[in-house]
Homo-oligomer: A and B are copies of this chain.
């Protein structure tokens, strides 16, 4: 392990000499201090120094992207650049929280920079071997859900909050009878006194198991167990004991140490909800790309991660959505591919299936629709059928309108 290094790529913006700015980041995040002190020998520095591995100069900017940056001289050119740094693994060892503190710690506010985004991170085998990673991923999720060769068709229980346990179970019965593959709690529904987790799981799993006994296939329900570490372990155990097949957590709210603890404990697929992602990503020159960010959760054990959806109700564009979904399916590392399910949601209907398939080139995904199922004019079963049909059409390359001619559920969904 002593020779292994971690590499991270950044997009940076600076009014200083980009090489000097890069060295400042490397110094700040490894052996550096701004004032030489006794004990700081060249040997010590070399042992632990971060290295600038590559730099590619990009365009200049007219004004700094973020406030507070310094300028070495008035009128200095503001330069953008791609940057790759590397660290000795021996600096922090195979620890995701300490990796985070190193490659995404005290960097973003450096005065030399008017912008910094972490683009990607590459982890050596000595690092990834220390984590279980996704235990189910694409293949294990398909096995548990009993779905092959097409996306899992799913939905989110709405209203987000307001339903009690029995009301939730009633809704799950309607959806399970409609032959849906996947149902998830909203991220706002966890363990509030109006809908306690345990009562909800027991009520819902009675329905799920009952329908599974009659229909021979068990709908996968992602119960939102977001909470404290010991709570999450107990909640996981309850879902497992009740015959459930998935648990969900809001990863930005739980945090890395909590998700690692859950990942090490879990015997069920972990459905990672990314709410809060906006504050980490929305500025083009601050924070994280999905590619970099999702690797932390994937290595911690996430089997599914939300990626938004095409033509969504949020501010994210389609190219970004597809890049995120591709990242989930791309190998985590060469030694450990561990592909996981991207979860498409937010305003998704039958209409987005063809473009999603064309752009992604895969059916390894969870496609979660809301109104398209529950508000389908012929009822929820037709809603689910219409989404499956839309994906059949997408995979066969047949325009939706043509396919709808012989598929009434899809036709009704399209308003034809």
Residues of A40-80 whose CB lies within 8 A of B: 40, 44-45, 47-48, 66-70
Closest to A281 in B: B109
With A188-B29, A226-B97, A284-B67 in contact, is A105–B250 under 8 Å at CB?
yes
Task: Select the residue from A101, A107, A276 with max chain B CB neighbours within 10 A.
Answer: A101
Contact digits for A176-205, partner B, Cβ 8 Å, 1 yes 0 no: 000000000001101111100000000000
A188 touches B66 (CB 8 A): no
Q: State A104–B275 Cα separation when bound (angstroms).
A: 8
Q: State A192–B126 Cα separation when bound (angstroms).
A: 13
A333 at the interface (CB under 8 A from B): no
Residues of A349-397 whose CB lies within 8 A of B: 370-371, 374-375
Residues of A243-272 whose CB lies within 8 A of B: 250, 252-261, 264
Residues of B within 8 A of A250 (CB): 97-98, 100-101, 105
A48 touches B98 (CB 8 A): no
B229 touches A261 (CB 8 A): yes
A188 touches B39 (CB 8 A): no
A242 at the interface (CB under 8 A from B): no
Residues of A264-290 whose CB lies within 8 A of B: 264, 273, 275-284, 286-288
B228 touches A260 (CB 8 A): yes
B257 touches A228 (CB 8 A): yes
Is chain A's binding surface mostly helix, strand, loop or mixed? loop
Q: Which of A86-94, A214-222, A335-343 is the interface stretch?
A: A86-94
Q: State A300–B301 Cα separation when bound (angstroms).
A: 25
Q: In the complex, how many angstroms separate the beta carbon of A70 from the nearest chain B beta carbon?
A: 8
Q: Which of A30-38, A135-143, A406-414 is the interface stretch?
A: A30-38
Residues of B within 8 A of A228 (CB): 95, 97, 257, 260-261, 264
Chain A interface category by residue count: 35 or more
Residues of A152-178 whose CB lies within 8 A of B: 158-163, 167, 170-171
* Residues of chain A having any CB pair with chain B under 8 Å: 1-2, 29-40, 44-45, 47-48, 66-70, 88, 90-93, 95, 97-98, 100-102, 104-111, 113, 116, 158-163, 167, 170-171, 187-188, 190-194, 226-230, 232, 250, 252-261, 264, 273, 275-284, 286-288, 313-317, 347, 370-371, 374-375
12 contacts between A and B (CB under 8 A): A31-B160, A34-B347, A38-B374, A95-B228, A100-B276, A101-B187, A113-B315, A229-B229, A255-B257, A261-B261, A279-B280, A280-B280
